[in-house]
Amino acid sequence: MSKNYLGIDIGSISTKAVIIDEQNKIILEKYIWTEGNPIEATKKVVKELENQVNEKKLNDFINIVGVGTTGSARKLVGSMLDAQVVKNEITAHAVGTLSIYPDVKTIFEIGGQDSKIIIIQNGIVVDYAMNTLCAAGTGAFLSSQAQRLGVEIEQLGKIALESKTPTKIAAKCTVFAESDLVHKAQIGHSKQDIMAGLCKAVVSNYLNNVGKGKDIQEQIVFQGGVSKNEGVTKYFKEATGKEIYVDKNSHLLGALGVAILAKKSGIEQQFNFNISEQNFVTLGQECTGCSNNCEVIIVYKNGMVIDKWGNRCENTKV
């Protein structure tokens, strides 16, 4: 039987999962909302993959022997799934992208609540930057503004392409952007021009903050949920004067990368889909082992401790 590998990228907004084969091809994939509960999101996404296996009658062909996790909740999910590999998003996204675009030099990534840029030379990450402190220029920012305008977020980019004169939006701060957007609408700017202005502002904010001082070279690959927004992609091309590549699986490249890393680890262990039937609980507890008073996170599976982290020394008393 062939071997397969599971990769899960769990962020604050969305959870992505893929099952790949030994040639790094995505066999099955699922994208769901995290909804502030990474434990339930993980159980749900694994169950959804199991349902796909059953529906497509792949039970005799899917043989998962490796698991990798990435994203903001990677450590927690890694403990839940007994993952062989737990990697940061920079590494996972770089590996996933390089598997499809071996000549990539720059990765633009804009997710739900953060954004990042990754600079690659000769297949190796040499520089990167992340923005996790401000929501301006992220998917959550675009989603909230689309809602304010009464537009489905999936349609925002398409409608923005209809504009000939994008409205100038002050988007360095979410609060200022919302105020400016309301003002521009009140004085008569069209919905198309305002949405184009939002897309253009996201690009400007990204390049002037996350991308500031970075050596942006081609080949450039744009990924993350916002890469599905055609308006943002258009203005990235316009601002850089370069071609911007958006893969059909651009939202899955972190999950793909960590699945590949699980395969490369060479550590094999049979994975069982029954994770959805297990009971997981996390508990934050202050350690009394020394004066650091670290907050230690304890993970329980069916009432048994399976992992803990957060202590800065060996004197853990929790």
Query: DSSP for 23-74?
Result: T--EEEEEEEE-TT-HHHHHHHHHHHHHHHHHHTT-TTT--EEEEEEESTTH
* pLDDT confidence bin for 136, thresholds 50/70/90: low
Please state, for a pLDDT cut of 70, what percent of the chain lies above it.
95
Alpha-carbon distance of 117 to 131, in angstroms, equals 9
Residue 264: what pLDDT? 96
Mean pLDDT of the chain: 88
* pLDDT confidence bin for 171, thresholds 50/70/90: low
148 pLDDT higher than 80: no
Domains assigned to the chain:
4-97+255-277 (3.30.420.40), 102-246 (3.30.420.40), 279-318 (no CATH)
269 pLDDT higher than 70: yes
Window from 46-55, 141-150, 274-283 with minimum mean pLDDT: 141-150
CA atoms within 13 A on the CB side of 139: 24
What's the pLDDT tens digit per position in 14-50?
Answer: 899 999 999 999 999 999 988 889 999 999 999 999 9
Q: Between the CA of residue 311 and those of 33, 39, 293, 316, what are the distances in Å?
A: 30, 22, 8, 7
The most distant pair of C-alpha atoms in the chain lies apart, rounded to whole Å, by: 65
Residue 114 and residue 89 in contact, taking contact as beta carbons nearer than 8 Å: no
What's the pLDDT tens digit per position in 196-210?
Answer: 988 888 888 889 888
How many residues comprise the chain?
318
231 pLDDT higher than 80: yes
Alpha-carbon distance of 294 to 286, in angstroms, equals 6
Alpha-carbon distance of 277 to 243, in angstroms, equals 46
Q: Could you give phi then psi for residue 6, rounded to 5 degrees?
A: -105, 130
Alpha-carbon distance of 67 to 63, in angstroms, equals 12
Alpha-carbon distance of 253 to 215, in angstroms, equals 22
Residue 157: what pLDDT? 85
Alpha-carbon distance of 251 to 263, in angstroms, equals 20
Residue 239: what pLDDT? 94
